[in-house]
Amino acid sequence: MDLDRLLDRLRAYVEHETPTGAAEALNSFADRLLARYADLGGTARREHAATGDHVVADFPGEGPRAEEAPLLFLGHHDTVWPFGQLESMPWRERDGVVRGPGVFDMKGGLVVLEAALELVDGRDHRPVRVVVIADEEIGSPTARELVKSESADAYAAFGFESPHPNGDLKTSRRGSSRVRIEVTGREAHAALDPGTGASAIDELVDQLLVVRSLVAGYDDVLCNVGTISGGGRTNVVPGKASAELGFRFVDPETERAVLDAVTALEPVRPKARLEVSVMSNRPAWQPSEASAELLAAVAEAARSVGQTIGGAAAAGAADTNLTGGLGVPTLDGLGPRGKGAHAVHEQVIAASLAERAALVAAIITSL
């Protein structure tokens, strides 16, 4: 496999910046994918979303397996990086390592997927369906139903997110939910008439303490307060405040109990109003016998190309939460090896692009 060609494509993808929510940039990148998948023999279409279009492509099977259920490949083309990140974090290639915003999460995975499709051209295999999401980094709020519908007839689902550091695949994921708490208080002069006011900030702080106490009652629940905003002047009792929280769960029962409790929060102050909304939700993808059997088949495919592959649970969430949660045999982590997702040292081991492409090709032709 021509590694230089893979790196050229990866560089072009990385230097096409695609922040989540930047619809014009994401749609332009979707145009690239549509053309590329058509060149590879797929029938591709875009699924419109206001914050950026998703891409779906179907590749026919070949030979006696052409009518079998498809393999579903999941990826995304949005990144956490804002426009201009390339100025301080440019594409760099040195000592077999490439760096740049989105190189690991997950434009490297998109290049691996394309290279694998090239490798299986002319070989017998079941159909392949590719779904590339435009808002994965914020929980795929506009793509949830698309992933569910496109996985309905899938034989198995594979994600092209990053693998574990040693290259092993991901066999389950925590559930992930984003929750917004918005407080409306009552403004007043902080010195002359504080009693007629109701501090939205004080109310928010008290609610966050309630949430902390609630989470402490459950094992293995993670809660991160990601943003807080509100208020304006120190001499004004603040009338508005909000926070966004990220929750992680290991099982759906705990997830439901915690989210029910959080969304049922009541104001502490009579003059305050509270609105709690679930911004996005990915169900817990728990270990299953089906995924274990799929991992065994993938390990056999890996051996056929001289590789050894294992699997382990993952803490992070992705679109494979949806397929795994629906009971579709699922594995994730087929992207290249590297490190630094969402960090300024984000990087990929260049040689692993070709290695992973060979692995994915073996999966396509053997499952």
The catalytic site residues sit at 78, 136
Asked whether 104 and 162 are in contact (CB, 8 A), the reply is yes
Location of structure tokens 């004004």: 236
State how far the Cα of 59 lies from the Cα of 41, in Å rounded to an integer.
6
- Give the 3-state secondary structure of residue 189: strand
- What's the CA angle centered on 211, arms 205 and 213, to 5 degrees? 105
The three-state DSSP-derived secondary structure of 79-137 is ECCCCCHHHHCCCEEECCEEECCCHHHHHHHHHHHHHHHHHCCCCCECCEEEEEECCHH
Asked whether 210 and 351 are in contact (CB, 8 A), the reply is no
State how far the Cα of 350 lies from the Cα of 29, in Å rounded to an integer.
22
- Give the 3-state secondary structure of residue 217: coil
Q: Residue 242: beta bridge partners? A: 182, 229
Which residues are CB-neighbours of 262 under 8 A, at least 6 positions away?
A: 179, 211, 214, 245, 247, 276
State how far the Cα of 127 lies from the Cα of 69, in Å rounded to an integer.
7
State how far the Cα of 257 lies from the Cα of 148, in Å rounded to an integer.
23
Q: Residue 44: beta bridge partners? A: 57
- What's the CA angle centered on 144, arms 38 and 214, to 5 degrees? 150
Tell me which residue of 184, 169, 161, 203 sits closest to 318, measured CA to CA: 161
- Give the 3-state secondary structure of residue 170: strand
DSSP string, 224-275: EEEEEEE---TTEE--EEEEEEEEEESSHHHHHHHHHHHHT---SSTT-EEE
State how far the Cα of 218 lies from the Cα of 304, in Å rounded to an integer.
44
